[in-house]
Structures are given as structure tokens and as C-alpha cells.
Amino acid sequence: MTIIAALTRKGVIGRDNDMPWHISEESKQFKKLTLGGTLIMGRKTFESIDSRPLPRRKHIIVSRSMPDSDGIDVCRTLDEAVDKAREYGREIFCAGGAEIYRQFLPQAKRLYMSYVKQDFSGDTYFPHFDLNEWRVVKEEDQEAFVFVEYERKNPT
């Protein structure tokens, strides 16, 4: 199970229920990595992508209030969402937001982090995690961001 996130070096992931940046290359990277997979995200994150499923990916939305909808699965808890995602037999990606990341982090085996080089202010932050629990597998310096792939050192 993989967390995928774009954030500033200060941990900002959002502002006013949207990403405060639009970086084409980072969006392309997200698409390339997640195509064919299953995305788990919270209701607000889903609303931030205009409440439409992204092509060629399964979508599972964690929400206590969102009604069921065509093309997506709505689960009431993260555990229910993970169980549903496993039924699809595809790679599972946690795509946010902050509370979903926080809950998913102990289960994650891999992190795909795009660290945006420009500083942006925001009101939503990626949860703190201990880098000592992770090893860098790959690091790519792009023009507007640095992509880092981490693997958990001691998966549970």
C-alpha cells in the first residue's frame, strides 16, 4: 500500500480544499504512477477533483456523509476502504487528504512524495512522519519539484 502526495518542504498539501499549485509535470507523474491502481481518498479530496473519478483507476471515497455514486465506492471507515480496495487486486494508493493520510500512514509500505520547490501557504498539512522509519529508494530532481520514493525499513 502506497501513499502518494505532493507537498511543500513545510508540509503544505492544500489551501481552501484545493492544491495551491498546478504543476503539469507533477500531475503527469501522479497519473503515470496511479494508472490501473485503486485510489483511496477522503470526500473533500474527491470534491477537489470535481467529484469525478480519474480515468482508468478505481476510486474508493472514505466518508460518513457522502451518498453512493456511479463509478466509485463509498466506505464509511478507512479499514472498510482498504478491505474493498484489496478486492480489486490492484495496487492501492492513498491520495489524501490530511486525516486519511494520518490514518493510512501506519499501514503504508511505500511513499511517493513530490516536494514542491516553491513555498506556498496553506491550511492543510501532511502529517508528521519519522524519516528514520523509511529508506530512500529513488530521488529525482525535476524543475518544480523533487520526487522521492521511500520504502518502510521494517514493514509490519
Please give the tally of structural domains in the chain: 1
6, 13 contact by CB (below 8 A): yes
Q: Which domain holds residue 60?
A: 2-152
Note the pLDDT tens digit of each residue in 66-82.
877 777 999 999 999 99
Cis peptide before 97 (omega within 30 of 0): yes
Note the pLDDT tens digit of each residue in 50-60.
878 899 999 99
Task: Name the grid cell of 76.
Answer: 464509511
Q: State residue 65's pLDDT score.
A: 86
Q: State residue 16's pLDDT score.
A: 92
Residue 45: give its domain's CATH number: 3.40.430.10
CA-nearest of 140, 156, 38, 42 to 91 is: 38
Note the pLDDT tens digit of each residue in 33-46.
999 999 999 999 99
